[in-house]
Structures are given as C-alpha cells and as structure tokens.
Structure 1
Amino acid sequence: MTQTLQKTDGDTRLRLLLAGGAVVWVLLWLANERVWDGLVALLGLDLESRAVGAVHFFFYDTVKIFLLLLGLMFVVGMLRASLDLERARTFLEGRGLFVGLILAVVLGVVTPFCSCSSIPLFIGFVAAGIPLSVTLTFLIASPLVSEIAAIMIGDHFGWDIALWYLLAGSVLSILIGWAFSRFQLDHWVEDVVKSGRVSQLRAEGHKPTLRERVDAAVEESKDIFKDVWLWVLLGVGLGAAIHGWVPEDFFARFAGPENPFAVIVATVAGLPLYVNGAGVVPVGEALWSKGMSLGTVMAFMMSSIALSIPQAVMLRRVLKPPLLALFFGAVAVGIMALGFLFNLFG
C-alpha cells in the first residue's frame, strides 16, 4: 500500500514536471525571435543590412532548430515508449501505402516548417519505424507544400495558380514517396537514428513505467542531439551566409524566355539558396514581371523552398550519401518536370 502511494506521488510529481517543461519550451519558442530582434534594436543595429541580418538569422534559426530537435524527439520518444507502434504500423499497412503517403502530405501542409526545420520531425518518424517512403514524403511536402507560400502566390500571381501550386506539390510528394517505396532504402539510414534508448526499452518485453518512459525519451533525445548538433550549426551557418540572397540579374539573363533550358537553370540555381516561401515569392513575382515564364518562376520558387545546402548538411548526419543524393535528385527532377508542365499549360 505504501509503495503504491509513493509510486502515485512520484508519477504526479513527474507529470507536473513534464507540464512545467512543456510550458518552458513554449515560452522559449515564443521568445526566441523577440529576444534577437530586441537585442538588435538595443544595440542600434540595422537588421536590413546583410551582415546583421545574417548574424540575426544564425542565432534565431539555430535556437529554433535546437528547440524543435529536443522537443520533438522527446515527444516522439514518449509516444514510442507509450504506444504499441506495431499495431499502428499494422493499421497503416492495412489501409495501403497511399493512405500513409496522403497523411504525410497532409501533415506536411499543416506544419509550417522550412526545409531545415522539418528535419527533427523526420528523424522522429524514422526512429519510430514509420516506413521510409512515408517519412521522405513528409520531408518533401513539409517545406514544398507551404500554406504561407500558397497564400502569397495567390496574392501575387492569382489564386488559380496558388491552387495548382498546392496540387502540383502534393502530387509530386506522393509520386516520389511511391517511387521510393519500390526500393529497399532503409540500409542507407544512419544507425544513430534507428538504435535509440526507446527501442531498447520496448525490446525488453515489459510495459514501461512513466519514469522509464521519460528517462528513455530524455536519453534518446540527448543521444541524437549530441550526434547532430554540429551539423545543425554548420547547416544554419551556411544558410545564414546565403540567407535572402537571390541574384535576380543572373536569373533574368540565363533563365529568360529565350532559353529552352530555363527551367533546368532556375531549378539548379535555386538549390543552393535558403529562402522560405515568404521570402521567395516576391522575388518570383519580380522575375515574372521581367518576362520570365511562369513555369520557370515556379521551378525556381519550389526549388528554393524545398531544397537547400543547409538542409543537405543536416540530413547527411541521418542519411547516407546514396540516399541523400537520390532524395535531392528525385525532388529536383520532379520540380523541373512541374516547371515544364506549368510552361506548357500555364
């Protein structure tokens, strides 16, 4: 009786601690951008200048991704330790692959993540044993099928084009996910993602207590964080260096309507950039007003949103080079195909 009461009291304190931790996480998330904005204002610096903007972006994005990495990995770890994921996977398998792919796209649409911010949730999905084709579909759809970009495209280009953008991005994500499902790709995922503390806990064959679940989730979050934090810093550092920089003159010159390979040029040139939907759509409208065809502009915007060098740097820690190259190549070729279709029917 006494042991039962002590266990109940311990669980209650632990739940209160978890609730307090969640509140602290939310407060840090809400304060992140405000802190760096306030520091820039306090120092009397010009946020519009390239150097100040790059430093501001580095600190803001680093803290944001670290918060996502720790928070999401802990939540996913708790879910894996608490739920019977085998039954969940069986449920999804019984509904067919396309249900999983569609759900991945829907989740990608409702999560307002850029190409780098979606990686922590992607890691959690892979660690949870969700089929790789489904997790990669989410990794494509989360930045590409952006509701923010869609709203801005509707405002700048027309709502019919925004609808086609959403439909094209969703279909592309599903098709690539389906293509990936035809191959065995799991051996190209780094072991750090698959061999976590939660997996060991579930393998012991007993129902874990709340304390065991929390401890396993914390340890797994710490292990993955220690393995990827440097890659996050490298990726965000590269992103800060090129953040917001779009050579409009280059695109106007080499991806103009007279170039039959303009879509390819725009897609490849957009890959190194690290620009979100809110930042790239006004640039796309400016290029469109200079005579660049709609498909070429769409290919440039989609490439800039969905893929980036910082994203590749971070993903390298969890994906082996062959799968990383396959992922980037498939998405880039798919975007080129959409660009040509927009030019053909736009």
Structure 2
Amino acid sequence: MERFMMYLTMQIEGILPYWILGIVLGSALAVFGKSFVHGMVMKMGNSLGLFGVVPASVLGILSPLCMYGTLPLAASLSRRGLREDWLAAFMMSSVLLNPQMIIYVAALGKTLLILTLLFCFLCGALAGVLVHFLAGNRRFFNFSGFGEAEDHDTDPRMGMRLLKNMGRNVKATGGWFFLGILTAVLFQTFLPAGAGRDFFGHHEMAGPVLGALLGIPFYVCGGGAVPLLLTWMEEGMSGGAVIAFLLTGPATKVTNLTALKAVFGARHFVLYSAYIIVFALAAGITANWVMTLS
C-alpha cells in the first residue's frame, strides 16, 4: 500500500497541474476565442487555393471543439461554400489536437510537444492536399445528416459562462484523467521491476508500430493518456512510439470513428483509416530519427 500511495502522489503531483491548466485555458478559449477561430476559417479568401490547407490545419488545432462539435461546424462551413480540401485539413488536425490537449502534452516535455504540434499540423495539411487531388471537383464529405453546431456557451454572464464550460470540461475529462493515473500507478506498483523496460527495450526498432497499436485501444481521452505515456516513457518507450500513439489514439477513438463514418461513407472511411496509420508510422519513425540527432 505504501508503494501504491507513493506512485499515486508522484503521478498526481506530476500531471495534475497540467490537467487543471488545460481545463482553464481550454474553456477560456472556448468561451472567448471560439468565434474568432471559426470566423477566421470562413474569412480565408479563395485566392489561397490549395495553400489554404496550411492556415486551415492551424485553425483546426486552435479550435477547442470535440469531434461532435467539429462536424456540425464543418457541415455549416461546407454549406457556406468552404472548399473540401480546407475542410479536410481543418477537421483532421482538429481531431488530433486542441488547445487543451496541447497543455497535457506539455507534460511529456518540450521536444515531444514541438513534434506533436508539427506532426498534427502536417497530418491535417497533407489530408487536405490528398482530398484536393482525390476529390477534384466532386464532393468528398456528406454532411446531409448534420444541422448547425449547438452552442452551449449562452449564459449572458461571462463569468458564469466560463465556469459552466469548465464544469463540462471537468465532467468530460475528469473520470478518464483519474482512470489514466490509476492505471499508470497500478502499472508501476504491480508490474515486476524492469518488465516494462524489457518490453519497450526489446521493441525499440518497432517502437512506432507498437505506439500506433497501443493508441487504438488505450486512448480514450487525452487527459487519461498522458499519465500512461509518462509511465511508459520512464520504462523506455521511445519518442517515436509516443508520437504514433498520439496520432492513432484520437484518430481511431471509437466515438470519433462513429462520427466520421457518417460523413465519409465506406470507401472514404477505409482511406481515412489507412492514411492515419501510415502517417502515424512515418511520423513515429521520423520522430525517433530527429530525437536521435538532437
């Protein structure tokens, strides 16, 4: 029990400040900056052409919405004439990362934070480029089942609006956050000493493959994933494996896949799944190479 409490205290002290900061900043952006971010998507002129996937991917990362908020917004943007390739870039990067998750990933260290930002941006921008050439002048997405995005931040008192948003954030992520901490503590407490290091050490060359595979079942919420990743990194998990995990995890999360299936259709859904796995593996391998050089 003493060992369990020691690891529990270490995990909470190490990651709890990032979770709290992520809640506060994420909610502040959702309340005070959401309209600006989403308005910027529509203000991008068509003169940008294909290069519009670059700001679209950046704005997707800055968007504080979850997938079930992003898709109605994307449907609204599509009805207003936003290009399919820009939509693809915006939605892809929005699936992978948001301001709140950026704070969580900061707990993994500066290098991994920078690499996560870079690869999530590239994943979104490249998705836009691929949709541009795959779809041509045809529609790639089907938003027929989506209405306007629902706005929950309607309280006329700005302070209460922020507090209510923070409450929804805590409700949505709190349980998974503490489950992640508990899982990490149990891993540290009951796994035989060196077992994790032997496992990750023996699979170092296949780290990105391992990370990509672990991301599919183990990623439920970013706040819950980071404590696990911190523990696995201490046991020898490579940076490339972490990057692959952070790409396949949110992209293949069951709730996100269910929502995306509705707008993709069967053929495009298969293409999406193949794309994210291939990109995650390539990003993981590249990240390992970059971190070896640094």
What range describes the TM-score normalised by the shorter chain of this pair? 0.5 to 0.7
Q: Distance in 2 between matches of 1:158 and 1:276?
A: 19
Moved more, 161-170 or 259-268: 259-268
- Partner residue, 2:160: none
Deviates more, 1:123-132 or 1:166-175: 123-132
Residue in structure 2 matched with residue 96 of structure 1 by the alignment: 49
Contact 2:214-2:245 within 8 A present in 1 as well:
yes
1:239-278 paired onto structure 2 within 5 Å:
252=196, 256-259=200-203, 260-278=205-223
Equivalent residue of 2:65, what SS? coil
The letter for the 1-side match of 2:66 is: C
Alignment-derived partner of residue 266 in structure 2: 321
Asked if the contact 1:157/1:285 (under 8 Å) is kept, the reply is: yes
Alpha-carbon deviation of 1:144?
1.8
Residue 122 of structure 1 pairs with residue 74 of structure 2: yes
Alignment partner, residue 228 of structure 2: 283
Please say which structure displays the higher CA radius of gyration. Answer: 1
Q: What is the one-letter code of the residue matched to 1:342?
A: A
Is there any run of 5+ residues in structure 2 with no aligned partner, and where? 1-29, 150-171
Are 2:243 and 1:298 equivalent residues in the alignment?
A: yes
Cα distance in 1 for partners of 2:176, 2:269 equals: 22
1:111 aligns with 2:56: no
* Cα distance in 1, alignment partners of residues 243 and 148 from structure 2: 38
Residue from 94, 109, 126 that aligns with 1:158: 109
Identity %: 21
The aligned counterpart of 1:59 is none
Q: 1:182 aligns with which of 117, 127, 133?
A: 133
1: distance between equivalents of 2:249 and 2:71? 16
Cα–Cα, structure 1 residues 190 and 302, in superposed 2: closer, same or farther, change >3 Å? closer
TM-score normalized by structure 1? Answer: 0.53
The 1:126/1:332 distance shift into structure 2, 3 A limit, reads farther
Instruction: Give unpaired runs (5+ residues) of structure 1.
Output: 1-67, 80-87, 197-219, 223-238
Cα deviation code 1:9-54 (max 9, x no counterpart):
xxxxxxxxxxxxxxxxxxxxxxxxxxxxxxxxxxxxxxxxxxxxxx
Secondary structure in 2 aligned to 1:320? Answer: helix
* AA partner of residue 94 (structure 1): S
* Contact residue 241 and residue 284 of structure 2 kept, 8 A: yes
* 1:123-157 residue CA offsets vs partner (Å, 9 max, x unmatched): 22233332222111111111323332322332x23
Q: Secondary structure at the match of 2:202?
A: coil
- CA drift at 1:255: 6.7
Is 2:252 the partner of 1:307?
yes
Asked whether the equivalents of residues 254 and 262 of structure 1 are also in contact (C-alpha less than 8 Å), the reply is no
